[in-house]
Structure 1
């Protein structure tokens, strides 16, 4: 590396840094419909001016930017050049020069690339990466709090997906809408009927978040989503205490992330049958709605079948919520105790009904979220009850020696148990095996770092990682690797998390920043009913698109994107109909909130 001295601090382009400032009414970087095209055109013009020969392709990187002390890597397409320069966009002066890594193939994309590591550059400013024969990178910033606006945008996406509530222009901006699905007259489906609540009984279960692009509300998916938000608050409380998300509840002494989580927690409490403690699997219509606004979805709504997975998810989340809410007793008087009692009642139901798998009724066509393995949910629920109560009986029930650690998902919650144990390790009882907890955390993190070090793109993703919701999986990897940093303060773990965030924000072979409203080329046609139906050019901001998916679906994606063994990381289509690659869901957004908040906290010195 040959750093070139910058004589004066560079002015920041605040409009570029604050791509979506939720506190000012839900605006996005693309509130001007032409902004994406403008960003793309400016970068193309820059690259054309730097070279008169045909470009080998664009230099790819995080399209938002970096904290000064962050690892900073760009991916360069195959060219004959061996060096790169970092160019100040205001002066067109090179402020850093360096050597490219050796070119090598990243098989998931079927591409040969090199890396440009410009981590030495820490001066604030706006820059591009330039390599002879390649198209300049998109402009990016180096600035303090580069992901603050993104964190707010990702959190505010939950607000945009609230059921049973109108979204006022004061908070939602262009995406204001009427309330949909009051859910105060929900019918008990035949599959959920009991003596106390026979088929057709009307119950009230308002609030909650729409799960994804559809209008269903599902316990197992909202469970992991709510947990991740609560974990973000538990792990990085100072950051969230200072975050104004621009939601209706903003401005009081309660962190906005908890206020948002409460919208779903209140709904979850209504999904528990008070007669026996069991929890209904989901609340939906019988069929998916079309591309309509929430207020136009007027079909009858049902609660469907109690099950072991839903009930244990509920137990785990309520145990976590109980200890988080206890810190705000003055606001939520008595609620912590109620949540713990609900968690314990659900645990008892699951003990009596340990193997009730969800079976989709013939007349219900909405998302199944079926699961037939419950060891992970039992362990997770037991661990959270143990941490909250200090009762060793729950720890024994978790049977941790037989529970592995892995990247979490709605059907695989083993990792969440280890995350909570690691975070609360200083307050566990003597019965906890501290060495086992640390080994589970560090071994997984080290495997992720090893994948990063062997990747031509410098991202810890391999061919098997491109499944439905692969972007959410990438960010859950980032969340898991960050847990090891708490043990060692070794920046290799932070660098791996940074690389995974970089991937979702543009260091990927599709050249998209996968978050609506953020970056030079965000998705514009997500599979999200309001975004398709609202007559606003830009989609609702702050949502993470699902991403490359090699499991071909019966949607427009299977015939229109490259997929299979040759280009699995490019199997993505930005089109409404490609629900298998371009849908959005709360459980993919939740780790985006966690990771951006964690990196802001780490880089800010929390």
Structure 2
């Protein structure tokens, strides 16, 4: 990410002076936006039709029609459904929906749409059972092996501000243009910590445990386990003698002359700090969870990493005890927030599964109670002890994930019912927020508050994309991980609170539609007709120097609000200049981690509970 060495302020100045801005999709008069990769045979299948031609005198109230083509031959037909007027992403457009969920025969399909004298045909899409998993799982798993960091120099890395030299070899490079390795970053901003390397290790092991027979049938089980243990081995190396994990291995995004060190960093300039001890929200708690789960996976499968399953479990217990005693000392502002709650809930849950010790159940209960206490009457979570809303560019579904895992270990009926109520209310609030305004793509909207120079700017707002004025001072990008995290939350949360045997994904129809809509956006049903999953679909993101390598199975950051909008209004993709295009094009490991979880969850038999 060489872009991050550029001053954000300078870029914004150039932009406002007249540099190119992608304020909306440049399109023909009629376009059909459709998932270009795979749709579930018995699931929702919806295309979004965008029309920018002259207004039509509608005959018999019918705005137009669609025909489903199977291998080029016409089949099912239907009328387009007009959608509410929507102008936030460009004026002068009319939107329609083409719902062809009635197609339940496997095959390759396209949609041909006609409005007035105009016609357009979509990219092709496969319709099959277990669509997302069958089509993408092999590439998603292989992406991580292709992203391994194996440079020998990491066997001897200095800890910033000390003479200590440590072995932090292994792990995965964080992104296409970034050879750094992060348990988390943006820690100085306190509310934006994404779970990165440790979450990848956990998600690989969790995916296996949800559906081992599916991975076995696909010939992926051994590869998946080995990759999870590759991550666990790296986490062992990151664990310091004192009991904390080193947070970041960083070289200022390959700045010439910058030393590669264990460190923390601040801001767009990547200023090194001595805050390299990973707090819970800085990846430490999920590292505990990953090691505990990897220990069980290694023991059960007989597959060994460099270190033993006993070592992984011992590491997890030692690190958890250290976090319990020191977390408030390690967080940058001295106050725990919602990210500490949901990551420590996951860590305690995994340790209880591994050991059965009541102390871990007690710790999980405390964090579940704290997380439940952050839910507002309206259904959104507070980030802090005040009124800052929780919103997240990568991990929006994590509170539901953590509570869903906790439900698996909670024997007390009243506590379990309380956790289920929180899951149900938060998911219902998300669906209501999506439906509150015209929203042709059913994009997951968010509640947020802007911040500048450490102080709130304005009041609480609602919108589609991440606000660009926030506590980080520079960081905003596409939200592919956020979308996949919400799909996963909808599936596992729906099964936990209102399971529907025989229903798509085993959940209520509105949650199934929402889960599919988020995946559809990433796989091509978006205004730019881009499949953000590289190597799949009719059109992938272009190359950008700032985005680095593109790997099959990797997922680009994605679409954002317009760059000159403080609150992230409007829409843009690859608005330039090149040194800023990492925001849209660069691949990042959390995107594929969350997508693998979503793909695996969506394969489970209808009504099944997630495996522990």
Q: How does the TM-score come out when normalised to structure 2?
A: 0.71
Matches within 5 A, 1:46-85: 56-78=29-51, 80=56, 82-85=63-66
Q: Which is worse superposed, 436-445 or 504-513?
A: 436-445
Residue 386 of structure 1 is matched in structure 2 by 352
Residue 12 of structure 2 is matched in structure 1 by none
2-structure distance, mates of 1:88, 1:359: 56
Residue 69 of structure 2 is matched in structure 1 by 88
Q: Is the 8 A contact 2:285 2:343 kept in 1?
A: yes
Unaligned stretches of 5+ in structure 2? 1-26, 57-61, 185-195, 264-275, 376-380, 382-390, 446-461, 467-476, 501-506
Which of 504, 523, 531 is the equivalent residue of 1:513? 531
The answer to whether the aligner puts 1:140 opposite 2:149 as a matched pair is no
2-structure distance, mates of 1:431, 1:344: 27
Residue 106 of structure 2 is matched in structure 1 by 124
Q: Is the 8 A contact 1:452 1:458 kept in 2?
A: no
The answer to whether the aligner puts 1:355 opposite 2:328 as a matched pair is yes
2-structure distance, mates of 1:387, 1:440: 22
Residue 159 of structure 2 is matched in structure 1 by 188
Residue 317 of structure 1 is matched in structure 2 by 290
Which of 74, 89, 94 is the equivalent residue of 1:109? 89
Which of 480, 502, 521 is the equivalent residue of 1:503? 521
Q: Is the 8 A contact 2:395 2:482 kept in 1?
A: no
Residue 465 of structure 2 is matched in structure 1 by 466
Paired residue secondary structure (1:339): helix
Paired residue secondary structure (1:131): strand
Residue 174 of structure 1 is matched in structure 2 by none
The answer to whether the aligner puts 1:241 opposite 2:244 as a matched pair is no
| RMSD (Å), alpha carbons | 3.3
2-structure distance, mates of 1:61, 1:421: 36
Note the C-alpha offset of 1:373: 6.1
Cα separation, partners in 2 of 1:459 and 1:244, compared to 1, 3 Å = farther
Please list the CA deviations of residues 180-213 of structure 1 after superposition, one character each: whole Å capped at 9, or x if unmatched: 35411112221xxxxxxxx233222211000113
Note the C-alpha offset of 1:502: 0.6
Note the C-alpha offset of 1:119: 0.4
Residue 442 of structure 1 is matched in structure 2 by 424
Note the C-alpha offset of 1:371: 8.7
2-structure distance, mates of 1:216, 1:371: 26
Residue 168 of structure 1 is matched in structure 2 by none
Residue 418 of structure 1 is matched in structure 2 by 403
2-structure distance, mates of 1:236, 1:409: 27
1-structure distance, mates of 2:229, 2:606: 28
Cα separation, partners in 2 of 1:509 and 1:390, compared to 1, 3 Å = same
Paired residue secondary structure (2:329): coil
Paired residue secondary structure (1:66): strand
Which of 225, 236, 253 is the equivalent residue of 1:288? 253
How many residues are treated as equivalent by the alignment?
A: 485
Kindly indicate which of the two structures has a greater share of residues assigned to strand. Answer: 2
Q: Is the 8 A contact 2:562 2:571 kept in 1?
A: no
1-structure distance, mates of 2:28, 2:393: 40
Q: Is the 8 A contact 2:44 2:513 kept in 1?
A: yes
Cα separation, partners in 2 of 1:181 and 1:136, compared to 1, 3 Å = farther
The answer to whether the aligner puts 1:476 opposite 2:459 as a matched pair is no
Note the C-alpha offset of 1:433: 1.7
Cα separation, partners in 2 of 1:152 and 1:159, compared to 1, 3 Å = same
